[in-house]
Amino acid sequence: MLDKLESIEEKYEELTRQLSDHELLADQVKYTKVARQHRELEEIVAKYRELKSLDRGIKETRELLDTEEDAEMVNLARTELGELEQRLAAVEADLKFVLLPKDPNDEKNVILEIRAGTGGDEATLFAAEIMRMYSRYAERQGWRVQVLDASESGIGGVKEAILLIEGNRVYSKLKHESGVHRVQRVPQTEASGRIHTSAVTVAVLPEAEEVDIKIDPKDLRIDTFCSSGPGGQSVNTTYSAVRLTHLPTNTVVSMQDEKSQNKNREKAMRVLRSRLLEMEQDKQHQAIASERRSMVGSGDRSEKIRTYNFKDNRVTDHRIGYTSHQLNLFMEGEVGELIDALVAYYQAEKLKEDVAA
């Protein structure tokens, strides 16, 4: 492992030198690629340097114990040695995790798609709350949230919403949120007070950059049409809405959130690239038949990854057996504890697979 760490440190130092190269700074595509590689190695190198520092400290302390005759100094050295060895063990454990093969998408921004599933109007209301929950969490992380598109229901809910979330390592945190989110509560629309069960699907897609996916203009059909829904005088009078169809895959993305046709086209292209990247990754991983279908299923209640029970103020993630009785805070965006638990769980699973291999 030490040889591998030394090689990584050398690579990191070379990337550091490259980042100050004026020629590289002039090429934004290459600069972005090098900067991303540098960030990916940063945590590993920091842990490795800490490991070397602790190792030196342990050797020096042991040498002191072998030569020191003062009883008080010996006791202090023994205490320090114990602390250093304890920290060394923790750093070695951390290194096992950070050396695991990285998901190449972890550094990427996210296209978050939320859709109301089974449950009618109540599902659209919950979809709006889920959208708000993730937006609040993103704000707590210092990320930027942009609503690319949203289709509202007549009672203030959301039938479908597409969000762009930008920031540091967004996908690494949110990638385990994909799936069916089930809600159990008395709906606002229910007069008899009975508890209903509804569902919302969430899909988390890494945002594809132009360097990831090249789209030939000949493969695109671009249609423009009048916007519909709230929006003022421009609605139904200007052809600002855009529909992109990627002909080879028959992938369709529509966008009408902006009054500007160019802005809608730009947003639609970002979503289209991310969907095409996902399709490409599915081809490369034949063990997963369809990433999107595995993410969100059909939207049926039985395919849940998480249940939100409002009557008991409880949220339960069924994959790791996590339960919290602070659903009210959870819906305000305080979801970090569960997200961190999911990341730790899947990291541990990867480590088991690595050891078994």
103, part of any domain: no
104, part of any domain: no
Give the model confidence (pLDDT) of 163-219 as tens digits.
999 998 899 999 999 999 999 998 876 666 788 899 999 999 998 876 567 788 899
The share of the chain scoring above pLDDT 90, in percent, equals: 48
Q: How far apart, in whole angstroms, are the C-alpha atoms of residue 146 and residue 135?
A: 9
**What's the average model confidence in pLDDT over 119-130?**
93
In this predicted structure, which of 121-130, 216-225, 312-321 has the lowest mean pLDDT? 216-225
7, part of any domain: yes
**What's the average model confidence in pLDDT over 324-348?**
94
Structural domain of 8: 2-98
Per-residue pLDDT at 329: 96
**What's the average model confidence in pLDDT over 328-334?**
96
CATH number of the domain within which 271 lies: 3.30.160.20
The share of the chain scoring above pLDDT 70, in percent, equals: 88
Give the model confidence (pLDDT) of 300-316 as tens digits.
544 689 999 999 999 99
In this predicted structure, which of 174-183, 196-205, 275-284, 287-296 has the lowest mean pLDDT? 287-296
Domain end position, chosen among 228, 263, 284? 284
Total count of domains within the chain: 3
300, part of any domain: yes
105, part of any domain: no
Say if residue 66 is in the same domain as residue 7.
yes
Say if residue 137 is in the same domain as residue 63.
no
Per-residue pLDDT at 294: 55
Say if residue 118 is in the same domain as residue 246.
no
**What's the average model confidence in pLDDT over 274-285?**
77
Say if residue 223 is in the same domain as residue 272.
yes
DSSP string covering 95-164: HHHHTSPPPTTTTS-EEEEEEE-SSTHHHHHHHHHHHHHHHHHHHHHT-EEEEEEEEE-TTS-EEEEEEE
Domain end position, chosen among 64, 98, 132? 98
Say if residue 183 is in the same domain as residue 147.
yes
Q: How far apart, in whole angstroms, are the C-alpha atoms of residue 207 and residue 215?
A: 15
CATH number of the domain within which 38 lies: 1.20.58
Q: How far apart, in whole angstroms, are the C-alpha atoms of residue 7 and residue 121?
A: 57
Higher-pLDDT residue of 266 and 353 is 266
Say if residue 236 is in the same domain as residue 275.
yes
In this predicted structure, which of 7-11, 50-54, 233-237 has the lowest mean pLDDT? 233-237
CATH number of the domain within which 152 lies: 3.30.70.1660
258, part of any domain: yes
pLDDT level of residue 140 (50, 70, 90 thresholds): very high
Say if residue 200 is in the same domain as residue 233.
no
CB 111 within 8 A of CB 164: yes
177, part of any domain: yes
pLDDT level of residue 91 (50, 70, 90 thresholds): very high
Say if residue 273 is in the same domain as residue 297.
no
Whether residue 288 is predicted with pLDDT greater than 50 in this model: the reply is no
Per-residue pLDDT at 303: 66
Higher-pLDDT residue of 255 and 102 is 255
Whether residue 232 is predicted with pLDDT greater than 50 in this model: the reply is no
Say if residue 73 is in the same domain as residue 126.
no
Parallel, antiparallel, or unpaired: how do β-strands 322-324 and 314-317 relate?
antiparallel
Q: How far apart, in whole angstroms, are the C-alpha atoms of residue 111 and residue 178?
A: 11
CB 252 within 8 A of CB 278: no
69, part of any domain: yes
Whether residue 88 is predicted with pLDDT greater than 50 in this model: the reply is yes
320: its two tokens: 């790791």
Domain end position, chosen among 98, 130, 159? 98
Say if residue 158 is in the same domain as residue 249.
no
Q: What is the mean pLDDT of the chain?
A: 86
Say if residue 243 is in the same domain as residue 332.
no
Per-residue pLDDT at 79: 93
Say if residue 276 is in the same domain as residue 320.
no
